[in-house]
Amino acid sequence: MPPWDRLAVIMGTLALAYSAFSAIAVLADPFDACELPGWPDPSTIASLPRSGAAERCFCAYAQLGSMRMRDFSKQCPLWPHFVSTDGAHPNRVSHHRSVAVLGKVEGNASAGRYGYVGDWATDIGSGFGAECNTTLSPECSPIGAHVLAIPRRRYLRDCCHDEHHSLAAMLRAAEVTELCSLLAEMLEASLAKVAQLEQYRSCSEQDEDPTEQTKCLAQCFHIVPDVYYAHLHTTAGVLRIRDGPLNAGLGPNYNASDANNPSNAFGRYNLCACEPTSWAIEAPGRGSCPRVTPSDAAYVRQAAIALCRNLAGIAGVPPARCAQCEMAIPNRVNHDVS
Ligand SMILES: *[C@@H]1O[C@H](CO)[C@@H](O)[C@H](O)[C@H]1NC(C)=O
Ligand SMILES: *[C@@H]1O[C@H](CO)[C@@H](O)[C@H](O)[C@H]1NC(C)=O
Ligand SMILES: *[C@@H]1O[C@H](CO)[C@@H](O)[C@H](O)[C@H]1NC(C)=O
């Protein structure tokens, strides 16, 4: 089961709403007011898990503000559970230039919701994927952070596989300037939502998890997607993280069972801003990592270049192409985020 499905199963209270929703979804064409360039045709959406329910939600988050609220709710009927801390406002979504960010620093104790987005793989203090339990966390202040960043001006299916709608396709098409500014905005806008950023360094060792114990931060894409809408995970300081079953880890993890599987990057199944140097042996370009820590003003630029090089390693493109990133990214200070 992909993590999105498992998340639904774990959220027991949502299970009924979900099954009713998917029963409706198979009877009628799913409502779809997504207007992003590159958005798939209705038959492709219908062929995705749950008729593309997760992908249609991600598009709704991207178009929040330009989509009528009524359409927003039809496009993503379960938004109050995923992107709201009070059940009334989609206040976990914010926009920054060409990126939408899911997650906020402050939770809501009276509603029992963390500010961060739940994930099957991360425990931010109340169990894996669970919302805030005020017995464990009276103020709903999470242990660590988990933020997602998605493109909001065009649709990209994934980081590394799709022939036309992926970060890898942008690199192959020599759209390096656009790619690097998108990467920089994703990295930067996500970091702006991480509480106490200065306590973290980048996770840089193989299998080093972004937990409270390691005090490291990871910014990674799954190479084989769970949701078919490209999303960068930023994870740091969490209580616990799941590294299996399936390739669930959110840092620079290695799964030896995939060692001979090129479609899963030979077991290095996440594309990260900071990768272990040893990974360069497998694919030239991979194994790049910013020199400074995430709270440093120079981090975003270095991390975008490293991410581009690591992507080049997966895509089989010469990493030298990422030199153009230097020009694409203004040398601005972190937290220059609206
Ligand atoms: C927290 O959620 C409750 C509803 O559950 C709402 O009435 C309240 O305004 C919210 N507080 C904040 C600060 O968002
Ligand atoms: C909250 O946590 C407490 C202590 O671990 C536990 O007993 C309780 O069942 C939890 N509540 C919910 C709703 O999960
Ligand atoms: C490793 O990858 C295999 C094949 O993709 C998968 O079945 C298995 O669950 C993974 N193991 C872990 C611990 O994630």
Ligand 2 centroid distance, CA of 132 (Å): 10
* pLDDT, tens digit (0-9, with 9 covering 90-100), for 241-298: 999 999 999 999 999 999 999 999 999 999 999 999 999 987 888 999 999 999 999 9
Contact (CB, 8 A) for 97 and 90: no
Quickly state the pLDDT bin for 18 (edges 50, 70, 90). Answer: very low
Ligand 1 centroid distance, CA of 238 (Å): 24
Which numbered ligand comes closest to the C-alpha of 136?
Answer: 2
- Virtual CA dihedral for 182, 185, 187, 190, nearest 10 degrees? -130
Which numbered ligand comes closest to the C-alpha of 266?
Answer: 3
Rg from Cα positions in the chain = 19
Q: Can you tell me the distance from the alpha carbon of 249 to that of 264, in angstroms, rounded to the nearest whole number?
A: 14
Cβ 133 under 6 angstroms from ligand 2:
yes
**Each residue of 27-50: b (16+ CB within 10 Å) or e?**
eeebebebebeebbeeeebeebbb
What was the pLDDT predicted at 15? Answer: 39
pTM listed for this prediction: 0.91
Ligand 2 centroid distance, CA of 108 (Å): 17
Quickly state the pLDDT bin for 28 (edges 50, 70, 90). Answer: low
